[in-house]
Structure 1
Amino acid sequence: MKRILVIDDDEISLAIVKKVLSETGFEVETFSSSAEAWEHYEPEHYDLILSDYFMPEINGDELLKKVRKNDDVTPFVFLTSNTDVKIAIELVKSGADDHIVKPIVAEELVFRVNKNLKERENLRMIEEAEKEKALLDLEHQKLVNWRTLYASKDITQTEQMIALLSRTINQSGGFLWLELLKSDLQELDDKSFRISKDLVDMIVSSAEGQKSIFDYITFISQLDDLVMHPQEYDIARFVKEMNGLLKTEVGKIAPKYSRKIIISTPSQHLPSGKVSVDPDYFPKILRELLINAVKFSPEDSRILTTFELNTTEKGNNLDFTIRNAPKEISVKAPDGSPIRGIPYDYSELVFDLFYTIESFPVYLEEEEWSDGTGLYVARKLLRSQNCWIKAANGIDYTGSSPESFVRFTITLPFTLT
């Protein structure tokens, strides 16, 4: 039911308007004072406003200005005894939608009210259609942008693959051996050839290095087609084994790189359930994330690992998180307390590394997948196991001073048994 607000200091006129509109099926609220009506007014609470023009306290045109400051949608129709066309034009210019000349004729009143309501509804439908069109245009543009983005990523990764291939081949001696072979090769009388042992050793070494490079490039390029062989593990057993693996790795890594690595046991009771992962690749992924956490933090940092259960609307998940808690640096907060932090370029670059095979400025020999490709490979392999990984950086305010951190979280779906 449409709600109409009627304001008129003429009690008889007010009663007539209310009776006619109520009998037509409208919900009518009336006020004999524009000041009182304004006190009760709420923007867009009414579907149409009918107001006398000449009133004490607040005149009709003043009331219109007040309404239009908060509401330019609701139709505003004046009731007036003045038949001057110029005044009618001025009323419309000031923001009124229509005017009705007194004395009121019931049929005209109903017609004008319905006409203005219909016009407002048509305008609303046009606005909705325009919004819908704008949203469709935006979605189309997003689709175009995403296609362009992924196309550019493919191109970028191809370029990075070529650069990686070229760089690593050069690092392994390139094709220097070819020039040396041409200059050192000696043809004997029996049409056989002589070559020095040093050159043979160099060719073999270079070929072995280049073969390993080509094998790795092939591995990277075929990650999406790599077949996983997941096995089911009891959750408690799985967490225990992964904790044991991490403790072993920590024993090797922590002393060498001056990091304090804390392996946390789950704070929650582990339910009876199954998690499915590839037994060969998942431990490698954990190890890779651990060494990347070392790589993304300064010396003397703390690195924390946790296993936690997480229940969502989509199901039950086991979250494994590795995060940095870096040492204090010289920067001070506004209150004078020290700020802990990870080098800015590291925390920014970590996100790019999930989608790139570009080199990272720091390389640690313990990395499973070389030349800065570790996070890229980890993301691809986890996706193949129906798992996923998230990265985040931020500020932790729970301690005595703010701490910035980089955090990796692997999410593994599990089923209850």
Structure 2
Amino acid sequence: MGDMKFEVRHWSGLVGDKLEKIELELRPSEFRMAPFTHLKPLIAEKDTPVEKGKPAVVNVQRISLPANTMVGCLNETRHAFGTTVSVVEYGRPSLIEEEKCISQAIFLPLEDGVIKKSDLIGVIKVFYVKTDFFGKKLGLGQQNFEIVKEQRSGTLTWKENGNVVRKALRMDDIIYRRVHIALLEPVIADESRNVRRNEVVKLRIRCILLPNNTVVAPTGFTANAYGTLVDVIQHGKPKRVEEERKLSHAIFLPVEDGKIEQGDMLGAVAVYFIDFEDLREVLKGEEKSFTTVHRSGGGVIRTAVKVQPYGFRRSPVARWEPLIANESRRLKAGEVCMISIRKLKLPKNTIVYPFGIMRHPFGIVLDTIQRRVSKVEEEKEIEKVVFLPIADGDVRRGELLGMITIYDVEVRTIDRIKSWLREWIEHREVTTPALQP
């Protein structure tokens, strides 16, 4: 695989400033992740009115990140009015090996309202990495990661009996050890609902119980013919990753008109273990029955399936791939669309994870679409993306839409997952980053 050239348009500063263009030439690169992740809160810098279903650009208290970092959005909705789906850098998009400045966030509202100054609207995950070229042996070596652990004040919001509750809190950064072991959880509708293209909905789902010391991550592929799973919602007041939680609802964005039936699979999430010391909660596991909803031959087909609980172990070494538009088209703010990209072929036993920083001036990639729905253990081919425009504009063939990370994984049953976790507890490293107050 040779060097890749593509066009990148970006705002000169904040979203809506002068539009500029650069051409990037990137070399294929693998990277190894440090054995820890840094969680940082996204706190609104000023009051911002939001309208249901219309993506809003929210100014946040600026976050400066060192070189050799990647960013993802922590799943599980953190605000009463909706969820943060991406963050925006100030000015020219940075490379992984460059410093970064996060100044804004893209927020998808579930209802009308006003985000207040100091509201917590989301959390980002900061991954510390070492990059290298394909074919070289990767290791973190003697590389030191000096991390500034900050303390901020913010306001936590949630809904109780239809009313918004606000509570001022001190919001410290969190650093946790990565385990690279996860369970795959199907997200299954627990109600039937007619859906319409572009009209974001909050759907009741079969309850998912999360053990303490876990984080939820997207799987990166659409899994329902009618739309994409945007996020999952905790029941009641949002809890921290160190606590047990219950997921009761999902945020679903339809890409076409249709009907979600009770028992339909909306998507899936990966539940990763962090700083894990107790196996009692993992011992639970039961067969799940649901209906897959996929498109075939121009129609929508529903198939009843039964799945035993399972998960995977992920490699700490991964590679990134750019998502390059293979067509040109006009965009209208808030009108979700499917855009053809240069095809990506993925080998067996791989998963993808979307970059959490916006890479196109007029919108973000929410999900990828496979030519045919495939299991993790099968080869996959990505041919389209689900794209959410944040402003009127256009996509040009050959320009960058977004980025994904590709991981090799080993899929196994829950019994093997428990065995891996026991091994990790017995042999875990005590490596921690150097912290600066």
**TM-score, normalising length from structure 1?**
0.20
More strand by proportion, 1 or 2? Answer: 2
**TM-score, normalising length from structure 2?**
0.20
Which structure: larger Rg? Answer: 1
More helix by proportion, 1 or 2? Answer: 1
* Larger RCO (alpha carbons 8 Å, 6+ apart): 2
